[in-house]
């Protein structure tokens, strides 16, 4: 039997604070269920020949270690918030073992943030041992990384443009609370949609669980997985069993094949 086109690993499914949240006494943060322990949100995409990570969170090093990932071809960034870019320095381990710079893809807004946050990486005079980065500034024009086609598109995180990505029949969106109608046409037809669903209460820049369910239903996807989850959403077991058929809470370590 032929191997699937893509394998997706959820490296982290938590919001910017992660779960457990520091100093929080709530039942979710003190749950012993491993599915309620969430690092910051990121995924790994693997094809037959190519491995891509979307966002390098503050937990990036540990995320790579706990799945024993030894190969990385590229990093894609969604937006410049700290919980999505802070781990970039740790790509230098891949530089060392792969003996080449890391290809990094970001829109202009995120590229500028990377140059500010990691100024030493882009300095004219470079300190020995710093990450070697090949920065590619992208727009919404489709491109290919290895054998994986990438379709970027813009969604809205309050007033900030955030990139979502469609890879073949898989679409990934994090940190959004509005998607324009033309972009919905890009997403429609996906077999799997990953979408942020922060909590049940309204939030200024994230979809609530109800809003995420309604959007995934409108887009008529076969399967939806919700990510970027806050401890305020509740326990994985309880929330997941009350979702519509085909809809799931993602959790750290979950793998799906498409």
Give me the CATH number covering residue 238. 3.60.15.10
- Residue 134 in any domain: the answer is yes
Helices (H) and strands (E) in the chain, counts: 8, 14
Q: Record the tokens describing residue 42, joined without a space.
A: 């990121």
Q: Record the tokens describing residue 137, joined without a space.
A: 């500034």
Q: Which pLDDT score, from 0 to 100, does residue 157 have?
A: 98
- Residue 245 in any domain: the answer is yes
Residue pair 49/79 in contact by the 8 Å Cβ criterion = no
- Residue 2 in any domain: the answer is no
- Residue 1 in any domain: the answer is no
Q: Which pLDDT score, from 0 to 100, does residue 189 have?
A: 93
- Residue 39 in any domain: the answer is yes
The span from the CA of 48 to the CA of 182, in Å, is: 32
- Using alpha carbons only, how large is the chain's radius of gyration in Å? 18
**Residue partners of 79: CB distance under 8 A and separation at least 6:** 107, 109, 110, 157, 160, 161, 162, 163, 175
Q: Which pLDDT score, from 0 to 100, does residue 126 have?
A: 87
- Residue 1 has what DSSP assignment? -
pTM of the full structure: 0.97
The span from the CA of 230 to the CA of 59, in Å, is: 16
- Residue 96 in any domain: the answer is yes
Residue pair 245/236 in contact by the 8 Å Cβ criterion = no
- Residue 112 in any domain: the answer is yes
Closest of 221, 227, 219 to residue 245, by C-alpha: 221
Q: Which pLDDT score, from 0 to 100, does residue 1 have?
A: 38
Phi and psi (nearest 5°) for 51? -125, 125
- Residue 46 in any domain: the answer is yes
Q: Which pLDDT score, from 0 to 100, does residue 252 have?
A: 98
Closest of 173, 242, 256, 164 to residue 210, by C-alpha: 242
Q: Which pLDDT score, from 0 to 100, does residue 186 have?
A: 97
Q: Which pLDDT score, from 0 to 100, does residue 35 have?
A: 98
> Could you say which residues of the chain have pLDDT below 70?
1-4
Q: Which pLDDT score, from 0 to 100, does residue 148 have?
A: 97
pLDDT in tens, 36-88: 999 999 999 999 999 999 999 999 999 999 999 999 999 999 999 999 999 99
**Residue partners of 109: CB distance under 8 A and separation at least 6:** 79, 80, 160, 161
Q: How far is Cα of residue 132 from the mean position of the Cα atoms in its chain?
A: 22
The span from the CA of 153 to the CA of 245, in Å, is: 27
The span from the CA of 52 to the CA of 8, in Å, is: 10
Residue pair 116/82 in contact by the 8 Å Cβ criterion = no
Domain around 216:
7-257
Residue pair 79/175 in contact by the 8 Å Cβ criterion = yes
Query: How many folded domains does the chain comprise?
Result: 1
């Amino acid at each position: 039997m032929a191997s699937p086109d893509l394998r997706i690993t959820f490296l982290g499914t938590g919001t910017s604070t992660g779960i457990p949240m520091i100093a929080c006494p709530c039942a979710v943060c003190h749950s012993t269920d491993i599915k309620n322990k969430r690092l910051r949100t990121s995924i790994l995409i693997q094809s037959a020949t190519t491995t891509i990570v979307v966002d390098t969170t503050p937990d990036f090093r540990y995320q790579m270690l706990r799945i024993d990932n030894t190969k990385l071809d590229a990093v894609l960034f969604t937006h410049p918030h700290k919980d999505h870019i802070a781990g970039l320095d740790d790509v230098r381990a891949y530089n060392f073992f792969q003996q080449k710079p890391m290809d990094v893809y970001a829109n202009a807004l995120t590229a500028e943030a990377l140059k500010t946050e990691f100024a030493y990486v882009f300095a004219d005079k470079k300190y020995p041992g710093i990450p070697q980065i090949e920065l590619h500034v992208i727009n919404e024009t489709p491109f290919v990384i290895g054998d994986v086609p990438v379709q970027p598109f813009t969604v809205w995180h309050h007033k900030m443009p955030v990139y979502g990505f469609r890879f073949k029949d898989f679409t990934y969106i994090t940190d959004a609370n509005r998607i324009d109608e033309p972009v919905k046409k890009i997403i429609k037809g996906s077999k799997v949609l990953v979408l942020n669903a922060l909590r049940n209460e309204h939030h200024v820049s994230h979809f609530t669980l109800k809003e995420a369910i309604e959007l995934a239903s409108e887009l008529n996807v076969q399967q939806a997985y919700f990510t970027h989850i806050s401890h305020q959403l509740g326990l994985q077991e309880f929330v997941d069993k009350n979702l519509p058929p085909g809809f799931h809470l993602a959790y750290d370590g979950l793998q799906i094949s498409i």
